[in-house]
Amino acid sequence: MNGDPTDAQDIIPRVDKLARSVSNSWNSLSTSPSLAFHPPQLRRPSTVTKPLKPFETKNIKVLLLENVNKTGQDLLREQGYIVEALKTSLPEDQLIEKIRDVHVVGIRSKTRLTAKVLREARNLIVIGAFCIGTNQVDLEFAAENGITVFNSPFSNSRSVAELTIAEIIMLSRQAGDRSNELHNGTWNKVSAGCWEVRGKTLGIIGYGHIGSQLSVLAETMGMGVVYYDVLTMMAMGTARQLPSLEKVLAEADFITLHVPELPETKNMIGEKQFSQMKDGSYLINNSRGTVVDIPSLINASRSGKLAGAALDVYPNEPGGNGDYFNNDLNTWTTDLRSLKNIILTPHIGGSTEEAQSAIGAEVGHALVSYVNEGSTTGAVNMPEVSVRTTEPNLARVLFIHQNVPGVLRKVNTILADYNIERQKSESRGKVAYLMLEVSGAGEQEIATLYKELESVQACIRTRVLY
Ligand SMILES: NC(=O)C1=CN([C@@H]2O[C@H](COP(=O)(O)OP(=O)(O)OC[C@H]3O[C@@H](n4cnc5c(N)ncnc54)[C@H](O)[C@@H]3O)[C@@H](O)[C@H]2O)C=CC1
Ligand SMILES: O=C(O)C(=O)COP(=O)(O)O
């Protein structure tokens, strides 16, 4: 939940209501006249590379926002899905209008899929976050309404680590300012306050995929590395994990942040933390804009406590390229832009050809395999379930339900007369996912089965593929 205290209280009735309407939309999709009956030869082939029925792929509507890479777009188009791809994110009112109609939505870090937006997304079954962070999606609300979310957990980690290395050197040499001056026609050759990075200490906050990769790169340049993480993480090379944020701030010449956006990481670096840093140290934030309190950073820069900073992310970011970065977005923007030795980049940490294409492939494949087969392998908010089919002519039941006692008994009663070939079930928090395959069921039986499963009280969403 995104901090809305009322969400938890009324979730069950709302889930039920939304479940009904969403299931109905799939029901109408799966029983529309042209799709109702498939002659045997058109039934699901023995390999799962082709989509399972009952839907026609050309009925699957996909909305991609924020310039999702072509590799990802092509994968979805190759399936025959109807894909609309926009280069920017959308303001909330326009997003709500668009999202009502689609089964699949693809976003990056900007688009906020809040409970308010998702409540309107009556047909939506899956979200692809074509990035690492998933803080922009209300994951819990999505799961409790049967909407699966996928991301790409490390395809752009190297790109972020490389940008961070570049920034460490650029800041240390004040190279951003020198470049700006020369762009403006001023020659200003200085060595005062410019340093080599060799022998300096890098402090990494959040030693996950990006932090640990960065650790290796920094050591190869002769830097010492200390880090802080809430978990005990294996040290790369000769890096040392320190027991507190404070200890890392006190020891490092450069601090770089690689934590997710969480309530605990909001304003993690503020007035107090700047005062704990060494005089003349540097701060890099390529994680999320909420992690640093910017007014405190502005004070630390003006007082000389900070020798420089690099920021790639901001609490409020423009919706698309060409949009202005000004005080309409964040009240302190003008002050920030006026500071010395502050590198400002427009959230490009993961923006390389390599990363975007790898993300497109990874998330694109995950979306296709969820839509066509129901597989939740790699999902960030759903229990992970997949089954591998070898025989043709099986019906696959996908049943997302509230994780409450007695549901499997009810489902098994409904299935009592079918031959169940395989069955898998997993739960995660309030939601459980059951996937099973039955043999020998004809069209009419499948339609009846679908209706009976849908009428189970705890059903959030069901699909039957055959
Ligand atoms: N600027 C950009 O374009 C990009 C930004 N990012 C951001 O970077 C973040 C980190 O990415 P990864 O390294 O892939 O994530 P990760 O999940 O692999 O690592 C994050 C680490 O932070 C630690 N952590 C969590 N809360 C903490 C706390 N309060 N104090 C200290 N450590 C804490 C976790 O234990 C974990 O080890 C992402 O969540 C995303 O927001 C990611 C990719 C691109
Ligand atoms: O992967 C992430 O979490 C990022 O922040 C990168 O976001 P983007 O895909 O560039 O909007």
Question: Which mean pLDDT values do the consecutive 10-residue runs of the chain (466 residues) have?
Answer: 32 30 37 27 36 77 97 96 97 97 97 98 97 97 98 97 98 98 98 98 98 98 98 98 98 98 98 98 98 98 98 96 94 97 98 98 97 96 91 90 97 93 96 95 89 96 92
Give the position, in ligand 2's atom list, of the atom nearest the Cα of 129: 9
CA 255 to each of CA 205, 248, 278, 310, 394: distance values in angstroms, whole numbers, following the listed order: 7, 8, 10, 10, 56
| Distance between Cα 299 and ligand 1 center (Å) | 26
Give the position, in ligand 2's atom list, of the atom nearest the Cα of 130: 9
Contact indicator for 301, 280 with CB cutoff of 8 Å: no
The pair phi, psi for residue 311, each rounded to 5°, is -125, 130
pLDDT of the residue at 442: 87
What does the block give as tokens for 93? 């009112």
pLDDT of the residue at 300: 98
Architecture of domain 157-344: 3-Layer(aba) Sandwich (3.40)
Q: Which of 434, 425, 437, 424 is CA-nearest to residue 395?
A: 437
| Distance between Cα 65 and ligand 1 center (Å) | 23
Ligand 2 first shell, C-beta below 6 A: 108-110, 131-133, 156, 347, 349-351
pLDDT of the residue at 440: 87
Contact indicator for 65, 89 with CB cutoff of 8 Å: yes
Overall residue count recorded for the chain in this entry: 466
Q: What is the DSSP string of 383-406?
A: --------SSSEEEEEEEEE--TT
pLDDT of the residue at 51: 64
In this structure, is the dihedral angle defined by the CA atoms of residues 267, 238, 251 and 165, taken in order, positive or negative?
Answer: negative
Q: How far apart are CA 225 and CA 205, in angstroms?
A: 11
Q: What ipTM did this prediction achieve?
A: 0.99
CA 422 to each of CA 36, 171, 408, 453: distance values in angstroms, whole numbers, following the listed order: 25, 58, 14, 17
Considering the chain, tell me which residue range(s) the CATH 3.40.50.720 domain(s) occupy. 15-154+355-465, 157-344
pLDDT of the residue at 389: 76
H-only helix segments in 281-384: 294-303, 333-337, 353-373
Give the position, in ligand 1's atom list, of the atom nearest the Cα of 265: 29
pLDDT of the residue at 24: 36
Query: Cis bond leading into 54, ω under 30°?
Result: yes
Domain 15-154+355-465 has CATH 3.40.50.720: yes
Burial class (CB in 10 A: 0-12, 13-18, 19+), 267: middle
The pair phi, psi for residue 372, each rounded to 5°, is -85, -25
Ligand 1 first shell, C-beta below 6 A: 132-133, 154, 156-157, 160, 205-211, 228-231, 233, 258-262, 264-265, 286-288, 312-313, 347, 349-350
Q: Which of 89, 113, 130, 132 to mutate to test the pocket of ligand 2 (most atoms within 8 A of CB)?
A: 132
Rama region for 320: left / alpha / beta (φ>0; ψ in -120 to 50; rest): beta
Residue nearest to atom 5 of ligand 1 (CA): 287
What does the block give as tokens for 396? 């696959």
pLDDT of the residue at 9: 31
DSSP β-ladder status, 224-228 and 281-285: unpaired
pLDDT of the residue at 159: 98
pLDDT of the residue at 441: 87
What does the block give as tokens for 129? 């976050």
Q: How far apart are CA 223 and CA 197, in angstroms?
A: 7
**Catalytic residue set:** 288, 317, 347
